[in-house]
A and B are shown apart, each in its own frame.
Chain A
Amino acid sequence: MSRPQLPALPTIELPAFLEPLKLKKFPLRTFPATYEPPRPTKPTLQVFGPGWEGKQASFDVDCLSMQVYLKFCGVDFDVVHSNEPYSSPKVKLPYLVVPPDHCLYGEQIHHWLQKNEKNKRLEKEAEDIESKAFVTMIEKKLGAALLFTLWLEPLNASELTSTKYFGHVSSPIDKLLAYRKKEEVVQSLLIDRDVLIREEIYQSAADALSALSVKLGANDYFFGSDYPTYLDAVAFAYFHVILAIPQITDSNADKEAKRHATELRNLVLNHSNLVKYTKKMYSTWLK
């Protein structure tokens, strides 16, 4: 295809007195950049943190499970307490920055681990498959109860959770964000059920906990494995987050509300093997 020939653009000669319009002297001077954010040299996991009492372990269950899972897989990585979900491509922490130019979240992290042959699977194929069912159960049943405890038990929500998640935001934006988060939690819980009833949510969490307690037995890791897997990461994260929530010591608080605030924690404490498991995992992997 031949293009029609366009006439050449005319060149205009500027008169000498208009020469300054060309701004030839700019830039007058070039300074070095004042601040260039340091580029990560190794994989960096962006999480909510630090945990309760300034511990390394994140207080957010998704972040914590990824944090320990990467440790299980022997990945050399840094943890950054960014607390800013909006910095992530999916508006959700955690996400993993892999130098030079990758930013991974959710499933992508698992794909990345798989590609580098660092992911941990159970030795027996059948057990590895079965562990997926348990991960779903934890995320669904225990996850609902944890969200409920954190955001819908008034004492926890006002005293602990909202300051932990949004405390670094200036007032009154933090209140607004906490309120919106609470509404989001209600909506997300209502997707799975027709009505929200406190007793039911805790009951199904209790069922899930006893199932996990039976499954774990006296083993060091789930399915009697010699090394921890993703199921252990998720289970540990949930147990740890539930157990690490500080007790509310305010004596003015309503007794009933106080009991509700610690209900989920007490459910975990009922299973001594789960508590032992959590403590051991914590001292092995996070200290």
Chain B
Amino acid sequence: MAKTGEEIRQLNEKIVGAGYFVDALRKEIGQVIVGQHHMLDRLLIGLLSNGHVLLEGVPGLAKTLTIKSLATAIQADFNRIQFTPDLLPADVIGTLIYNQQQNEFVVRRGPIFANFILADEINRAPAKVQSALLEAMQERQVTIGDHTYKLDDPFLVLATQNPLEQEGTYPLPEAQVDRFIMKVIVRYPEMQEEQLILRHNVQGERLPPIRPVVNIQEILDAKSLVRDIYLDEKVERYILDIVFATRYPGRYQLEKLTPLISYGASPRGSINLALAGKAQAFLNKRGFVIPEDIRSVIYDVLRHRIGLTYEAEAENIAAENIIDEVLKAVNVP
């Protein structure tokens, strides 16, 4: 929607006011989690842009603690589901249980009824369970028996995947992975950060409890402001150029990428790049999106949306390398 300069200025002021909680959240969670700023920012982007985040990282990188802390800091409900091969869809969404005293079936809601869901090791559960979760993520409602229940708002699913131990797992199909706004790679902490972690744990220092710094209503208000953030046509064009370059590299003098890409980013890629760009602008307390916002989220938004050929895999080329080349070729407005 076209906006005047004055409207954007007013929106900017609102965002500066409403976005106070971003720094407060970072500070509060920083007391418990050492490092992992990138992961926290991406969780906030997922929360503000109404998306879900797929986290990939080895165990022990404080993924659960970060999400739990975030839930506490925004006074939201949090549930963790450990995905296992014997998990059933009913274990996730809930089921009808027969009550002998009342002689009727009653609904037992599953752990999906919470604001924050941590779907731990999502690739360990069979396809039907993954599918039930992903359907709920997309539609934000579940049906148990004859009734359809709306899920809470905000509703953020954080699914984790362990890149190791792939034996006996059920990798998410491309169409399912595409439903996550971002795929975030959680990396090891820096040496100095790990030294701090070590001290906290070995010396038995008790971590301070997380205090709530923002309430759910404020988060919902922020989400509505994020939707209003101005996205200029030039930035839209920049997003489309990037996405199209992944589909048709030849049009952007990137012929060398053609044999490496089996499929480019989907239209959901363009949409999510714009949404994540808006959320990033919000985190930077801006009422409009600039190319920097797009570039800062591009790897997390597109890495799981670009299919690589066997040739690329044989040459150890990752989706990030493809994105690098695309960014070098597409002109910034």
| A, B bound | no
Question: A residues near B, CB below 8 A?
Answer: none
